[in-house]
Amino acid sequence: MQPLQFLVPIGALEAVAGLLPIAIFAFVVLNMLTRVLQHRRHERQAEDGDDDEAIDRWAPHTATTLGLVLVSLLFMIVEPHGGMVMSILALAVFVTDFFEFESRKVEARSKSKTIERPTAAIGISVFAFLYAGFQGLFFVIAPIWNAII
């Protein structure tokens, strides 16, 4: 008996294994949408506030980022190769979101700079979107893919 076998119920996870790539794709799309809304919110907060204290994290964006990481880690249990790639991309989204938030605070503190778009987070989100789309929507291109390969 494995010591951690009851931490994640493998049987229940295998029952929803087919939905995990679609859930990951949905989390990536929601994360990109909340990133746009969070950026607009940060711009308003920087205009209204005098210092970086006005800028705060937005809970829906944080929730979608954490959900993306957790679901991709669950996907790694079911599909080790695709889950590992997706987990690395999801963790990269998490890390870039962390540093982009800190850079927004620096920009708000300096007042000489404008609040810029989170370019690094947008870039890694595009990679995550493409790979999650490949994993989750493969059934759309499967006939063409199988005919070629």
- For position 6, what pLDDT does the model report? 63
> What pLDDT is recorded for position 122?
93
* pTM (two decimals): 0.87
Angle in degrees, 0-180, between the axes of helices 20-48 and 59-78, rounded to the nearest 10: 160
- 62 SS3 class: helix
Give tens-digit pLDDT for 99-128.
Answer: 999 998 888 888 767 888 899 999 999 999
* Cα angle value 135/12/62 (rounded, 5°): 55
Residues of the chain with pLDDT under 70: 1-9, 112
Taking the C-alpha atoms of residue 37 and residue 148, their distance in angstroms, rounded to an integer, is 40
To the nearest 10°, report the CA torsion of 116, 118, 120, 124. -150
Q: What pLDDT score does 4 carry?
A: 58
The CA distance from 119 to 32, in Å, is 12
- What is the C-alpha separation between 88 and 2, in angstroms, rounded? 26
pLDDT value at residue 2: 59
Round to the nearest angstrom and report the end-to-end CA distance of the chain: 41
Q: What is the pLDDT of residue 33?
A: 97
Alpha carbons 46 and 96: distance in angstroms, whole number: 20
